[in-house]
Structure 1
Amino acid sequence: MKKIIWLLVVSMFVFSCGSSKKTSSKRVKGSTKTERVVKDTRTKPNSPKETPKETVVIEKTPERVPTSTDDYIAIFAPIAQEEMRLYGIPASITLAQGILESASGKGRLAVEANNHFGIKCHEWTGARIYHDDDASQECFRKYNDAKYSYRDHSLFLTGRSRYQKLFQLNIHDYQSWAKELRAAGYATDRRYPEKLIS
């Protein structure tokens, strides 16, 4: 009997000394991403006083292709609103441009390159996709995630002097923003402002 008890105590000790990792998954409300948090409570053998560290690993889930313009707005409105807070570009204008340029997220550039604004390569050194636009097989920027397309759109407008007049306009005056975007040369289509406004 003593041998059995001794064997149980030793096996409990051996199993309790193994690595103690806790994993939990959580889905952010309204998001298409799943975030997995791995808590590693082990300490390094050479530093027993070290506090446990938490490592966050964001796993990318497949992008959801919007089924309608309303669906597009539901998916990308939070990103456009964050860009408005950070860069002063009306979320309504950003969403209208995304809807127009990406065919509500269903266009080739949006689906294959996460490029929702038709931003061409210019001085871009990242991944590329070639697509017929004003000319045959023009170079467009390719992003790992659509949110980077939204950020690049903000940086594109704030970083070029020809768009500086936009930032003197009232952030709630989307009609003036639409007209000034065309005047500054964002698009060649003469009806671009009307399309954005509608």
Structure 2
Amino acid sequence: MKKIITSLVAAAIFVAATPFNVSQIALADSASSKSKTALLTDQQEEFLDVAAVQAEKSAKKYGVYPSVMLAQAIVESNWGQSELAVNANNLFGMKANDTWTGDKYAKKTREEDANGNSYYITADFRKYATFNDSFNDNGTKLRHGISTDPLFYQKTWIENAPTFHDVTKALTGTYATAHDYYQTLDKRIVDYDLTKYDPQISNAKITYYVKKNGPTYQWPTDHTETDKASTVTSKQKVTVTKTITYYNATQRMYISGQGWINGSCLTKKQPKVSRKLQHNARVYNKKGKVISKKKLKKGTKVNTESNLTKISGKKFYKIGKNKYVKKTAFVK
């Protein structure tokens, strides 16, 4: 993987970060953003093509923003040509703390104190076997925090951060000591249109029905990264208040008061329920008029919609297109 990274970015040129007004770009529409997209060198374009694929996968697994992951990789690794990237597959400047059990790579690095003054130390950094491992470790750090505080980076989680800018601000002073870290990341995100790799997020309130019994989860991550939150039952009516749609069209949805679930577990189509008639029953249309002299026989099992419909103040179950039977006709 070292050779791959080196070949992709050997001639890439690092662009130093400069302060700018993030509010001006955070609200820019896609057309405006596209017109301002910076030109990429061939090496930068190749690096981004490879990095974006893994960023989308890792960001989906850990529930973070791909655009921020990519901006960090660009800044921290100088488009993959930094000493750490080439020799340790470390794209995010991840240090090897006491909990790290893998290989290490020692390197001199610049730090910044509370007053913005620079100083240098020699530190151990994490050395990865592959390019992809670096992305996954970055996702692990953001989602699971540090040993003393698992929620240390919770403001960077996709369910908690309305925009990429909220994430970059949360990383400043926590992930990196540089006081202008968020400006550096924001500029890369805007200059290179990195938000195009982010999932679509909707806060629309929508009614769904559960396809089968199963658990919900605390986070919109892969299930291997989160604890269970609750359970839902087949045909249960639920309200979804947030939907995240990813690059591969899969979705994670938040069920109000119950937790996150894969979109494939829900349906908008109202499920059918088999109900038994306790006496002969007439069939009505949506205006409450009898549509057939022939009655449904007592004991017949009829598939109805799960919810009741009111017609002229009375309760009916819908059994087909413009066909309804009174609730009182069915066994309780």
TM-score tier after normalising by the smaller chain length: 0.5 to 0.7
Q: Show structure 1 runs of 5+ residues with no match.
A: 1-59
Q: What one-letter code is carried by the residue in structure 2 that aligns with 1:105?
A: G
Among 97, 106, 111, the alignment partner of 2:81 is: 106
Equivalent position SS for 2:179: coil
Among 168, 176, 193, the alignment partner of 2:166 is: 176
Please report how far the alpha carbon of residue 182 of structure 1 lies from its aligned counterpart in structure 2 after TM superposition: 0.8
RMSD of aligned C-alpha atoms?
1.6
Partner of 1:186: 175
Among 143, 160, 163, the alignment partner of 1:158 is: 143
TM-score after normalising by structure 2? 0.39
Q: What one-letter code is carried by the residue in structure 1 that aligns with 2:57?
A: E
Distance 2:128 2:156 in 1: 26
Moved over 6 A (4+): none
Equivalent position SS for 1:86: helix
Distance 2:105 2:71 in 1: 23
Pairing 1:92-171 to 2, within 5 Å after superposition: 92-122=67-97, 123-133=99-109, 134=111, 135-160=120-145, 161-167=151-157, 168-170=160-162
TM-score after normalising by structure 1? 0.65
Distance 2:60 2:153 in 1: 18
Q: Show structure 2 runs of 5+ residues with no match.
A: 10-42, 112-119, 146-150, 188-332
Structure with a larger share of its residues in helix: 1
Structure with a larger share of its residues in strand: 2
- Higher gyration radius (CA): 2
1:50-92 per-position Cα deviation (integer Å, ceiling 9, x unaligned):
xxxxxxxxxx794242233322211110000011221111111
Please report how far the alpha carbon of residue 166 of structure 1 lies from its aligned counterpart in structure 2 after TM superposition: 1.9
Number of residues of Structure 1 aligned to a counterpart in Structure 2: 136
Aligned residues: percent identity? 30
Please report how far the alpha carbon of residue 136 of structure 1 lies from its aligned counterpart in structure 2 after TM superposition: 2.9
Among 57, 69, 73, the alignment partner of 1:82 is: 57
Contact 2:68–2:185 under 8 Å retained in 1: yes
Contact 1:87–1:158 under 8 Å retained in 2: yes
Please report how far the alpha carbon of residue 157 of structure 1 lies from its aligned counterpart in structure 2 after TM superposition: 0.8
Please report how far the alpha carbon of residue 158 of structure 1 lies from its aligned counterpart in structure 2 after TM superposition: 0.7
Q: What one-letter code is carried by the residue in structure 2 that aligns with 1:75?
A: V
